[in-house]
Amino acid sequence: MAYQALYRVWRSQRFDDLVGQEAITKTLKNAIQQQKTSHAYLFTGPRGTGKTSAAKIFAKAINCPNSVDGEPCNECEMCRSITEGRQEDVIEIDAASNNGVEEIRFIRDRANYAPTAAKYKVYIIDEVHMLSTGAFNALLKTLEEPKEHVIFVLATTEPHKIPATIISRTQRFDFKRIGVSAIIGRMAYILEQSNQPYEEQALSVIARAAEGGMRDALSILDQAISFSNETITLADALAVTGSLTTEMMDRFIGACLQQDVSSALEVLENILAEGKEARRLTEDLLLYCRDLLMYQQAPKLLESRAAYLTDPFKQLAETTASERLYSMIKILSDTQNEIRFTNHANVYLEVATVKLATPQTAAANAANVQVSPATNPVDQAELTALKTQLQQVQKELQQLKANPTVEKEERKAAAPKKSANSYRVPTERVYQVLSEATKDHLLNVKNVWEDLLMALPVTQRAMLKASEPMAAGPSLLLVAFDYEIVCQRADSNDELRLNLQNSLSMMIKNYTPEFVFITRESWPRLRQAFLSQHHDRPIEMEASDSEEKISLLPKETNEVVEQAKSLFGDLVTIKED
């Protein structure tokens, strides 16, 4: 006989053989024993968790004349015929290739006839979510008026695609992912029955790679048997699954924790050069960091994996702060989600490596993960202050309503209080800009100002829309804002200043001035005050389009007037007092 895959040879033939689904198997066995079976069942769950196997076992158990405790005997002709797929009363259909209305109508017509040899006619429809809308409607009629001798078992991995009218007419059983320990136990049993030597660590790697599917685990185990010489070793399992060795993970995470970006990237390059798959690599690193955290908090949980607990692993667990591991897990988790939707997985892995090995990023992530307990008192204090201010405003409003004639002196006295929290204009910095300002610098900035705004992120661009450069020198640049609140926000935004400097240096070679922000309404006052203090020297700057054409220079000397004319031409008007 030709070779058969392990998952076919060792397919479960009894309910007790189904691994990790004890609640479902117990319910089905009790229903068969008590003769309280339903006319339709819906088996849902991930691939390889035993849905179709459970359906065939159920068909055998309900038709087996020698059934004991709800289990089939697997020895009578009925059980053997169902197992071999030659029993005409147990029909298994693949909905992926038989999803039309005509196929379901044919099933409905055949369901009207009594079974020929079995007690019940059982229809097992696999991947039932692939049926068309018309096919579901045709099946619905049969489920609404079931025959006593017909049972439908619907199996699917995507129950959300099945109409609610179908689900409501079935008994639903959700098959869960099988645990790693259960998969290891089943594989160990199969290998012992097959007289195949193995290493326990190899089975652990295969079980984790199977992601909760027994069929996937047996398929990988089949590959490992073919790959190995005699004994299935840990190296064989790592090679077949594409997983990382413990030494690789020790070196990579160790370099990241030591903040050695160069070494971490070098280790990553060596791992990728060996052909490791990006998704598997990210998952292994994520689990490694999880294990480090678990070993810190509950070391006994990892005692069963002695080979995994190397000396470097234990040292990293003892010397690494929990907050740092939290941030690394978050970075790897985000990277895992990003890799799913990209064709450049290696780029994301390299970026993630830089983040993992950069101390500033780690500290920032740690701050995001753990909220400081001092935050709540500050927020509470701010809330109390806002409430007090609101009560004061309401009180003043009531007074105004009661006495609409308010003295001017009271208004003037109240004015400073109203603007107590307003933006403080950096007068000294403004004077520094004006003292070094030149016309050429300002013209260069204005020529690239629109392009500079377009180079910024959307939020920063919106902030600078209502602004204009007023004066510029070799090391300082003065920008005026139409709105005080926008000016205040811009002044406190370090990232905005950095982006402005970087973008401006690319547009104007070697020009990286420091920015001084003021409000537009304060500009005439500041400029006039500076001119009055420095009337003995000319100041090169342009008037904005929105301002009147006024003299920017004092009129005490003819030389100054002439110099202003030569610099600004028509922009300068001379007014005689």
Mean residue pLDDT of the chain comes to: 80
What pLDDT is stored for residue 28 in this prediction?
A: 93
What would the CATH number be for the domain defined by 246-367? 1.20.272.10
Please give the class, per CATH, of domain 6-174: alpha beta
Tell me which residue has tokens 């300068």. 572
Check residues 482 and 415 and name the one with the higher pLDDT: 482
Q: List, in sequence order, the alpha helices (H) in 34-163.
A: 51-63, 77-84, 101-111, 133-144
Nearest partner of 143 among 117, 111, 113, 173, judged by Cα: 111
What pLDDT is stored for residue 379 in this prediction?
A: 56
What pLDDT is stored for residue 174 in this prediction?
A: 93
Check pLDDT > 60 for residue 539. no
Per-residue pLDDT reduced to its tens digit, 296-338: 888 777 766 555 677 888 888 888 888 888 999 999 999 988 8
Q: Is 547 left (phi over 0), alpha (psi -120 to 50) or beta?
A: beta
Bridge pairing between strands 467-472 and 476-481:
antiparallel
Tell me which residue has tokens 């070993």. 295
**pLDDT band (50, 70, 90) for residue 175:** very high
Q: Which residues belong to CATH 3.30.300.180 in the chain? A: 427-571
What pLDDT is stored for residue 557 in this prediction?
A: 45
DSSP for 413-444, written as a single string? HHHHHHTTTSPPP-HHHHHHHHHH--HHHHHH
Phi, psi dihedral angles at 368 (to 5 degrees): -70, -35
Q: Which residues belong to CATH 1.10.8.60 in the chain? A: 180-241
0.75 surpassed by pTM: no
Mean pLDDT of 391-398: 75
Mean pLDDT of 277-303: 83
**pLDDT band (50, 70, 90) for residue 564:** low
Q: Which amino acid is at 144?
A: E
Phi, psi dihedral angles at 218 (to 5 degrees): -70, -35
**pLDDT band (50, 70, 90) for residue 362:** very low
Q: Which of these CATH numbers, 1.10.8.60, 3.40.50.12160, 3.30.365.10, 3.90.1150.10, describes 180-241?
A: 1.10.8.60
Q: Which residues belong to CATH 1.20.272.10 in the chain? A: 246-367
Most distant CA atoms of the chain, gap in Å: 122
**Judging by beta carbons within 10 Å of its beta carbon (0-12, 13-18, 19+), is residue 493 exposed, middle or buried?**
middle
Mean pLDDT of 487-513: 84
What pLDDT is stored for residue 151 in this prediction?
A: 92
What pLDDT is stored for residue 54 in this prediction?
A: 93
The C-alpha torsion from 259 through 261 and 265 to 266, rounded to 10°, is -90
Check pLDDT > 50 for residue 420. no
* DSSP bridge partners of 93: 125
Mean pLDDT of 281-302: 84
**Judging by beta carbons within 10 Å of its beta carbon (0-12, 13-18, 19+), is residue 489 exposed, middle or buried?**
middle
- 233-242, 295-304, 368-377, 389-398: lowest mean pLDDT where? 368-377
The tokens describing 349, both together, are 């892995």
What would the CATH number be for the domain defined by 427-571? 3.30.300.180
Q: Which residues belong to CATH 3.40.50.300 in the chain? A: 6-174
Check pLDDT > 50 for residue 108. yes
Half-sphere exposure of 570 (CA within 13 A, CB side): 1
Radius of gyration for the alpha carbons in the chain, expressed in angstroms and rounded:
39
**Judging by beta carbons within 10 Å of its beta carbon (0-12, 13-18, 19+), is residue 47 exposed, middle or buried?**
middle
What pLDDT is stored for residue 552 in this prediction?
A: 43
Check pLDDT > 80 for residue 184. yes
The DSSP output letter for 174 is: E
% of the chain beyond a pLDDT of 90: 13
Q: How many CB atoms lie within 10 A of CB 501?
A: 16
